[in-house]
Amino acid sequence: MQYDVAMSIHQFPPKTPQDEFAAVLETLSQIFSKGSKGIGASIVAVLFLLYAATTSFYTIDVSEEGVVVRFGKYIQTTPPGLHFKLPFGIDQVNKVASKRRLQQEFGFRSSGVSGGRTTYTDKGHAMESLMLTGDLNVADVSWILQYEIRDPWKYLFHARDVERNIRDVSLSIMRRVVGDRLVGDILTVGRVEIADEAKRLTQEVIDRYDMGIKIVTINLQDVNPPEAVKPAFNDVNAAKQQQEEAINVAEREYNRFVPEARGRADQRNSEAEAYSINAINRAKGDASRFRSITDEYQKAPEITRSRLYIETMEELVTKTKKLTIVDDELKGVLPIFGGLKGEK
Amino acid sequence: MKVVSIILFVLLGLGAINGTFVVRESEQALITQFGKILGEPVSKAGLYVKIPFIQDVRYFDKRILSWDGDPNQIPTKDKKYIIVDTTARWRISDSVKFAQTVQDESGAAARLDGILDGVTRDIISRHNLVEAVRNTNTILDRVQAKLNKPKSEELPSDVTKLIEIEEEISGEIEAIQVGRERLSDAILERTRPELISLGIELIDVQLRRIAYEASVETKVFSRMISERQRIAEKIRSLGKAEEARIKGKMNLDLQEIESTAYRKSEEVRGKADAEAISIYAQSLGREPEFYNFLRTLEAYRKSLPEKAELILSTNSEFLKQLKQKK
């Protein structure tokens, strides 16, 4: 990797870029005014000046910082805005997107924006996303990692390929975290916990490299069983639904019949109570009536009996449709029996 | 004269260019003279001078570099074929040794390939698969915690809990002795001394990816499928069991409710009847004969229909007077 050394025509190190630039201009004007070699020299001088001017300024975007090196040596870090530097590649600027939140994707790639919506592909990234779980099953985990460049100098000069290091570490750490868990936990409840632990451990390892990187967040995207196993996992979910349904149906039936039966039982009890009250009251009433009657009866038993008997008979006989009186001395009064059958 | 001065000027210019060199922040440089290394390496960034045309400069990166190994198929101690993909981070710690032994980065990469692949293979194959997958034994605590989770009394949630446990403890769980992190540390420790002699400082080794070899993967997948099927069946049958339980309970409850109601109502009725009888007996006992007479008359009145045909003998108490008159 050779450094293309720009041609240098003056001493170094200069005090400030501005002074230096003024000095250059003066030297040049002296050279060309003395010689006055004609139009050719003037054209060369103008071109030279233009080149100097275009390589003397640089702008840093709002999301960036500029790391300035002079003859390869670090000078300063400049904030966003228009800046001056030494021309001809003496000063070189490395722009670092330190204010931006950068993102790495694992197990999928956002493949572009279509219809205002980001589309994703996860085809062909199974190598990244398939991992072994603690119970030696396989889970398909995809995630994103967001990071910021906290120190542009370290970012540039402490490691050659920072992004690749971040990727390698994140791939390794995610497997370590997933490797300590059961497949059931990973697919269901453990997502946040996994992301947090992965973030913590990834930062720990990244810090060892001292690359000026701060991990902002790790987010699990899709956590799935491997494609081949998916139907079986879905079947488990279906079974859960079926189980719930079966239980619900049974409970519905229970709820349909049992409360009604309770109601009927209560009804039956109430009816029994009613019967009870009825029977007892009647008995008491009858008893009380009989007591009253007997009180009076005892005063004149014979006459009362006769009276009651005669009254009753009288009542009965008056109500009858037909009364047949049979003298007990008469024999064979058969004809009536035919009549008896028909009318009652 | 003019030509000579131009040549001289050009030579001077070339000399000025060739006599200076720049070392960047990310680099270190070695000055060589006819291939021989001179003095200490330059590791501070800046502009330097050397003897033009006679001395040469070789640059080496000073930063952390990464090494990416080819995925290797390695059998573990428990005879499981897995693919292990390792990466490592390293730096050129001694540029003189580095230049002498491996020349440049591609030379270093070749040596790293040989050394790291060999040691990785050796260490992975000496351990069971779980050692490379898991880092700690916390998974055992998790399993234990799940098993110990107190079961609630309620029927439906009890059932769901049962299923959870069944579902989560599938596959093989055995305690580990070493763990993933210590395996990669072991690889690091084993390779480090050898690499130091090449002027290379190995910073870390990461087991980036561990995957089942394709044929093993198929077997694992089919095991996972059969496990899920087993679980699904269990869930279904637990559902049916619960359904049957609820239905059975319904029958039981219905019978109990109905028969209890019957018993209670009959008890109440019986008691009432008994009380009524006792009330009657008490009051009627004073004049049983009169009660008979009275009740009989009442029965006549009630039981004989209206407009009935009545045949009476003159012998009867009611009509005996008719006879006497005759």
In contact, A93 and A68? CB cutoff 8 Å: yes
What share of chain B in percent tops pLDDT 70?
A: 90
Contacts of A134 in chain B (CB under 8 A): 130, 133-134, 139, 173
Instruction: Give the minimum alpha-carbon distance from A113 to chain B in angstroms, rounded to a whole number.
Output: 30
Of B210, B236, B290, the CB nearest to A242: B236
CB contact (8 A) between residue A290 and residue B242: no
**Option in A72, A232, A327 nearest B314 (CB):** A327
ipTM of the complex: 0.72
Main-chain phi, psi angles of B141, to 5 degrees: -65, -40
- Tokens of residue B243, six digits: 């359904």
Contacts of B319 (CB under 8 A, 6+ apart): A325, B312, B313
What is the rounded distance in angstroms from the CA atom of residue B160 to the CA atom of residue B162?
A: 5
Question: E-strand spans in chain A?
Answer: 57-60, 65-70, 73-78, 81-84, 91-96, 102-106, 109-114, 117-121, 130-132, 138-149, 213-224, 322-326
Least confident of A250-264, A286-300, B1-15, B150-164: B150-164
Q: Is the pLDDT of residue B157 over 60?
A: no
Task: Kindly tell me if the per-residue pLDDT of B211 is higher than 90.
Answer: no
What pLDDT shows up at residue A85?
82
B67: nearest CA partner in chain A = A165
Residue of B nearest to A211 (CA): B64
Nearest-neighbour CA in chain B from A257: distance (Å): 8
CATH architecture of B65-136+176-216: 2-Layer Sandwich (3.30)
Higher pLDDT, B15 or A262: A262
Mean pLDDT by 10 residues, chain A (344 residues): 39 54 69 62 84 83 87 85 81 85 86 59 72 87 91 88 90 90 82 90 90 90 87 88 88 90 92 92 89 86 87 84 74 52 42
Domain boundaries, chain B: 17-60, 65-136+176-216
Residue A1, min C-alpha distance to chain B (Å): 7
In this structure, of A17-21, A247-251, B1-5, B189-193, the range with the lowest mean pLDDT score is: A17-21
Among B143, B165, B221, B80, CA closest to A134:
B143
- pLDDT at residue A4, as a whole number: 40
Beta pairing, strands A322-326 & B309-313 = parallel
Residue A14 has a pLDDT of 43
- Helices in A100-229 by DSSP H: which ranges? 126-129, 152-157, 162-179, 183-187, 191-209
Q: Which of A172, A211, A235 sits opposite B232 (nearest CB)?
A: A235
Using a CB–CB cutoff of 8 Å, tell me whether B1 touches chain A. no
Q: What is the pTM (predicted TM-score) of this model?
A: 0.69
Contact yes or no for B257 and A265 at CB 8 A: yes
Q: Which residues in chain B (254-293) have CB-CB distances under 8 A to chain A?
A: 254, 257-258, 260-262, 264-269, 271-273, 275-277, 279-280, 282-284, 286-287, 290-291, 293
Q: How confident is the model at residue B254 (pLDDT cuts 50, 70, 90)?
A: very high
Smallest CA–CA distance, residue A120 to chain B, in Å, is 23
Within 8 A by CB and 6+ apart from B209, the residues are A127, A128, A131, A171, A172, A175, B71, B83, B84, B85
Kind plus residue range of the DSSP H or E element containing A28? helix A17-35
Read off the pLDDT of residues B75-114 as tens digits, 9 standing for 90 and up: 988 888 899 999 999 999 888 888 888 888 888 889 889 9
Contact residues for A88 (Cβ-Cβ < 8 A; gap 6+): A6, A7, A8, A51, A52, A55
Query: Is pLDDT above 90 for B255?
Result: yes
